[in-house]
Amino acid sequence: MHVHRSALRALGILSDRYGRRKFAVAGSLNFGVSVAVLALTKSEPILLPAEILGGASDAAFTPSVAASLADTAGIEEKKSLFLLHRLRSA
């Protein structure tokens, strides 16, 4: 959780600069890797790096998708889309 919150703003700025889709895809893929590692590992020293990767991956995904939703959705769509996005993030 701490990695996610501390990296959120920086990765959001980078996703605006270098492309939201790239950060959303990279965040999704890396998050999947971190979840797989957490599910399959039996080694305690691997758990912390996998958690850090998961937090950073979610921090790359969240602002990229939120900004994309804000750019593409109409006024009425934004309400429901952001509600769904917030529920996913909770």
Separation of alpha carbons 23 and 8, rounded Å: 12
58/27 Cα distance (integer angstroms): 6
Going by pLDDT thresholds of 50, 70 and 90, the confidence category of residue 47 is very high
Count of CB atoms situated within 10 Å of the CB of 32: 12
Percentage of residues in the chain with pLDDT exceeding 90? 41
pLDDT band at 89 (very low <50, low <70, confident <90, very high): low
Mean pLDDT lowest among 30-44, 46-60, 72-86: 72-86
